[in-house]
Amino acid sequence: MGRSRVLSGALLLACGCSATPQAQPASDEELKAALRADIACLADAARQADDRKSHASTIAVAVRQMCSATYARVRELGGKQLNPQARLMYQRQLDERRLEVPTTVVLEERKKGRGSN
């Protein structure tokens, strides 16, 4: 029994694994579902908030705030399996692009002709 513990410890050190349990990574389907929910939220919010007169990025700022809960879920799931430093980098990259996605959604909704109240 003692020998198996030593072997397990050596294997953990060799592979760079920690002995503490890691969070289970989100499944691809779980992450895709969260992304679909965020895009759906953004589209619904764009249809509600867009006056079709303001610049799309102005509307996107409001839309982004309206969907902060769905975005938080995407951030959480996407970085779940990463170490703390990699998670911060991942989340920073997501945050830097956060205005691009709602702006694109606003423009797409305008193309569909459904962006007005």
Q: What is the pLDDT of residues 22-80, one digit of tens each?
A: 557 788 899 999 999 999 999 999 999 999 999 999 999 999 999 999 999 999 998 88
pLDDT of 96 > 80? The answer is: yes
d(CA 93, CA 24): 22
pLDDT of residue 81: 85
Q: What is the pTM of this model?
A: 0.73
pLDDT of 15 > 80? The answer is: no
Among candidates 78, 81, 97, 100, which has minimal Cα distance to 33? 78
Our measurement of the distance from residue 90's CA atom to the centroid of its chain's CA atoms, rounded to an integer in Å, reads 9
Mutual angle of helices 68-78 and 84-96, in 10-degree steps: 140
Mutual angle of helices 68-78 and 56-66, in 10-degree steps: 70
pLDDT of 90 > 70? The answer is: yes
Q: Decide: 40 and 108 in contact? Cβ < 8 Å.
A: no
pLDDT of residue 22: 54
Give, in degrees to the nearest 5, the angle at Cα 6 between 3 and 9. Answer: 150
